[in-house]
Structure 1
Amino acid sequence: MDPQPLPDALYTADQVRELDRRAIQDHGIPGYTLMQRAGAAALEVLGRMWPRGRVLAVVCGPGNNGGDGYVLARLARAAGWEVRLAAVSDPGALKGDAARAREDWCAAGGGTVSLEAALEGCDVLVDALLGTGLGRPVEGAMADCIARINAAGVPVLSLDIPSGLQADTGAVLGRAVQARATVTFIGLKLGLFTGEGREYGGQVHFDDLAVPAAVYDGMVPTARRADAAVLGCLPRRRRSAHKGDFGHVLVVGGAPGMPGAVRMAAEAAARVGAGLVSVATHAVHAGLIPLARPEVMAHGVTAPGDLDPLLERASVVAVGPGLGHGDWGRALLERVLAWQGPRVLDADALNLLAGAPQRREDWILTPHPGEAGRLLGWSAARVQAHRPAAAAALQARYGGVCILKGSGTLVHDGRDLTVCTGGNPGMASGGMGDVLTGVLAGALAQDLAASPGETAILGVCAHARAADAAAGEGGERGLLASDLFPCLRGAVNP
């Protein structure tokens, strides 16, 4: 059986439970039939990912997630696996379909062993402990069980979601199973694609369990995935095009000692196709930038009024990289905010905005979790634990388009939430945000999409695609922001 492609739609746990209910009650599919289909889908993933596996440990908890584990164990045993099943909770307390799954496992000759015996010498471990309904931190015996699973040193396949991972946010609730792969059912869970979800979920597989398409009617996804495929909608350039057709980006920033940030943002804007790129920076190093990138026009500015002739020629302004928190940076930001036109705010511009909040509809904000926390009055940890809510709160308070950076970057335009599924851990290095700022400004300058929200998605995906290409050449560790420059052209020329 060919694997099902991952859909774009992402749902909360409550939404998926409603989809389950519709399949069972409105369309007459017995719950146990869905459970059997889930077990069969998981078995198919097992066989495809570990074709040489022979000894399978299945660790079952309470509820229907444990029921899925019992079904998988029975099917795997019939398929020739040596199956060792450990029941972490009281099997006698199972109810409904989960109880029936255990009964069928026992009727087929299956039994239970201790967790130690299940783990000893197994090739693959199946996590069927906790499902999507988890709402509080994992503690006690269950937390100890998860710790022992993670310490076992064998690959783990999680059913529906890694146990301990919050299905809506991607936050780890105390402790979570580190899965090599996750097979999830009916609807993709948002938490698998942002925050810690990308780390703990591993390779995600999907099966809709053959529910009718009508089950999804009227169910609006909480978010949608976006990957490099969206770059295919970039328009072809006319043969008669000239640089004036593709906008003029002005990058404002670079306080004394910080010329690198504006230089990287400026080159990124040029690399994605902006027709002209200028930099307004501190006079002490305005002459250095053209030496590093001669295509960029650099202007030293000492007072806000020095920006006026540059703003008159600009079609998009990116402000914040290396701007600093002092009077110079604050005055320049105020002048940029008085200008009428699309803007991208990053770094120090966001920190200054946090001290004097205002709402606009014509800007793109690009905070990382620390900056987002300052903008909202939250801790960075709270932002990370509630990433979708934080993105929505930022957009509601400040308007425009909010890009909450991090693993599974979120883009919120006031109506839709989009998750970028590209990128890699090598991007955790200085300057990556400056490059993204330039990419966004360059995309805006070319009017590459119908709305700032769509342009933001294109920019985030192009940035991630370039980072993945750069990491593919030499690995993730040691990846520098400037390593993306040779790859940005390819990222926007699919």
Structure 2
Amino acid sequence: MRSALLRSAALGSAPPELLTTAEMGRADRSTIDSGTPGIVLMENAGRAVAEAVMRRHPPGSRVVVLAGPGNNGGDGFVAARRLAAVGFRVTLLLAGAPERLKGDAAEAALMQRFRDWYDWTVDLPGTYYLQVVQWLYKENRLARSALTALGRRIDLSALRMPVLLLAGRDDALVAPAQVTGILDRLGTPPEGRAALVVPSTHLGLFMGRTILAETWPGIVAWLDRPVAAPALAPA
């Protein structure tokens, strides 16, 4: 069962009440049917849990979040993320196999995995970073086959492996032309190269529900059989 605290936070109501599992399911469905996405309810419920913990314990405290494979487990992912963001030492445990996660819970888990990856950084010397910006973006050395790495010049025309370029039509960071413009510079035979421009933002290419369900299975099939891939014609 979810407490009134979660339902009040999710629906914006004030008085707390205790609901059974069936009642909570009906309340969730009714709210979703009225236009509030399930992932928003999950975010609100997880935030309410995190705020309840913050009122009782100071940042730096150790917190263990045990999440199940249902949508309540998704609430746990949100709570863990919010607590970790303000300095709590969080351990997140999933009771069950990750592949059992579905719907909004699976989306919340995917977002958590992305945030974990994003927060893990590699320290690079400032000089090296500035060199890479100069060589790749200002001088366009990779596209001109003028970039040297580990003592060897990277010649794109020497590539013979299958290559698929993926770009987001609505990507605000990398314009599709920046991705697809390199296609004709590759030495890969025409039947082994393709470019896709899909309706997606930058992160949506790897996290969007529609892209993961509809685009990536075709990409995997293309990589397995690069010649026979009629659904992935060059953009």
Compute the TM-score of the two structures, normalised by the length of structure 1: 0.20
Larger Rg: 1
